[in-house]
Amino acid sequence: MSKEIKLVIFDLDGTLIDAYTAIHKSFNYVMQKSGLKPQSLNTVRRLVGWGDLNLLKPYFPPKDLPGSLRLYRKHHQSSLLKYSRLYPYVRGTLRWLKEQGYKLAVASNRPSRFSRILLKHLQISGFFDYVLCADQAAHPKPHPEMLKRIVRKFKLKNRQVLYVGDMAIDAQAANAAKVKAVIVAGGSSSQAEIKREKPSKVIPAIRCLKAMLR
Give me the torsion for CA of 18, 105, 127, 116, rounded to 10°: -60
Identify the domain containing residue 38 by its residue range.
20-83
| Tally of structural domains, the chain | 2
Q: How many helices (H) and strands (E) does the chain have?
A: 10, 8
Q: Under a CB-based contact definition with an 8 Å cutoff, are residues 126 and 150 in contact?
A: no
Q: Are residues 97 and 194 in the same domain?
A: yes
The pLDDT tens digits for 25-61 are 999 999 999 999 999 999 998 888 888 899 999 999 9
Q: Are residues 158 and 146 in the same domain?
A: yes
The pLDDT tens digits for 178-192 are 999 999 998 888 889
The pLDDT tens digits for 128-153 are 999 999 999 999 999 999 999 999 99
Q: How far apart are CA 50 and CA 23, in angstroms?
A: 13
Residue 214 has a pLDDT of 84
Q: How far apart are CA 161 and CA 157, in angstroms?
A: 7
Residue 1 belongs to a domain: no
pLDDT classification of 2: cutoffs 50, 70, 90? low
- Cβ count within 10 A of residue 169: 21
CATH classification at residue 124: 3.40.50.1000
Q: Are residues 109 and 50 in the same domain?
A: no
Q: Where a domain ends, among 30, 54, 83?
A: 83
Concatenate the DSSP letters of all residues of 83-142 into one string: H-EEPTTHHHHHHHHHHTT-EEEEEESS-HHHHHHHHHHTT-GGG-SEEEEGGGSSS-TT
Q: Are residues 48 and 150 in the same domain?
A: no
Peptide bond into 142 cis (omega under 30): yes
Instruction: Name residue 13's beta-bridge partners.
Output: 17
The pLDDT tens digits for 10-29 are 999 999 999 999 999 999 99
SS3 at position 38 = coil
**Is a pLDDT exceeding 80 seen at residue 1?**
no
Residue 186 has a pLDDT of 82
Residue 190 has a pLDDT of 86
